Amino acid sequence: MKTLYLIRHGETDHNRAGLAMGHLDSPLNEQGLRQAGQTAAWLRRHPIARILSSDLARARDTAAPLAEALGLSVEPDPRLRELSFGIFEGRSIPDCEKEHPEIVARWRSGDFDFAPPGGESRRALMQRTRAVLDEMLAAPEEHLALVTHGGTLNALHTHLIEDGHPEAPRERIHRAFRFHNASVSMAAHASDHWRFLVVNSTFHLEEEPRQLLH
């Protein structure tokens, strides 16, 4: 049975300030580094055989302690990057709305093919994440970890939900999911469909980590 461990990167100063990051290569802050260590301490108990990560520093540095704990290397993959927000990167949404109200309104309309100037469309995000997911399903390893970003996780979870539907991927990305920094989700593939085991778990980040039942 194929099992994926889907991990969001730890906290950055941009996260704390509520700024859009996209492809900006902002590093983990002190809290984020601590979260990366806690995530590794919890996941080292699982039989993960391969670790892929967005090639951006905040994801790679989140994956590094887990790779060290398991004696694995981190495989950077630019297809696991966050959606590129173009001119919005490094800015707050209120500031973007003041300067570019029409662009923000178009973005919020859900147009699947619209991209902010210098940025990327939702369709492009879905295409590159679908390619990664298909490769992971075909890979010989049964337990794989993907360390990535909030928007990328939304795209991946949409693929998992809609896998097998003739229309998939539909022209939307599920927004019901929210992924906290250093959260862990798990999904298993059996009988030709995906089943969620855990979504957005942060139990391991508590002061006294608890065993998660699943």
The residue whose two tokens read 């599920």 is: 174
Q: Helix, strand or coil for residue 151? A: helix
Catalytic residue among 11, 82, 89, 120: 82
Half-sphere exposure of 189 (CA within 13 A, CB side): 22
Closest alpha carbon to 149 in 28, 41, 59: 59
82 noted as active-site residue: yes
68 noted as active-site residue: no
CA gap 177, 23 in Å, rounded: 21
User: Beta strand 143-148 with 74-76: parallel, antiparallel or unpaired?
Assistant: unpaired
Active site residues: 9, 82
